[in-house]
Amino acid sequence: MGKQSALKQTSQRGHDGKHADKGGRGLQDARASKARVALPESLDRLIHERLRLGIVSALAANESLTFNDLKNLMHITDGNLSVHARKLEDAGYITCNKYFDGRVPKTEYKLTAAGRRALEGYLNHMETLIKKMRGR
């Protein structure tokens, strides 16, 4: 039996040596159930991510922000900001406007009405959770 076969068989068995799919709980199932507990279905996973929540919050507090404004405010790299902003833009939560200021290219972001509603819903969900946890 090769190393890969032995590893595959080991990963398919539960702690008691039985196959995970025959009564034992597999590691993948345990991870999936933890994720469901940590993030309820009603929680907007797109906004819940730390950097995207920061971007949406910053845009909610300002009429618009440039790429460099957001990058400096969030203390993130160009690549990270681009990826997270694109996800928010694809969801319709923010708009991206590219233009030139003289010969300098600028990118400006604004929060859309859908983005503002999504942030409101997220904040309402978190407030409800906080009140519930504090027994109010």
Q: What would the pLDDT profile of 20-70 be if each residue is shown by its tens digit?
A: 444 444 445 545 544 444 455 678 899 999 999 999 999 999 999 999 999
pLDDT at residue 13 tops 90: no
Mean pLDDT of the chain: 80
Query: What is the per-residue pLDDT for 42?
Result: 72
Domain extent listing, the chain? 1-38, 41-133
Pairwise CA distance, residues 31 & 95, whole Å = 35
Domain spanning 41-133, CATH class = mainly alpha
Cβ-contact 68, 78 below 8 angstroms? no
DSSP secondary structure letter of residue 26: P
Torsion of CA 62, 64, 69, 74, to 10 degrees: 60
Pairwise CA distance, residues 17 & 30, whole Å = 17
Contacts of 72 (CB under 8 A, 6+ apart): none
**Is the whole-model pTM more than 0.75?**
no
Most confident of the ranges 35-39, 89-93, 131-135: 89-93
Mean of the pLDDT values across residues 73-102? 97
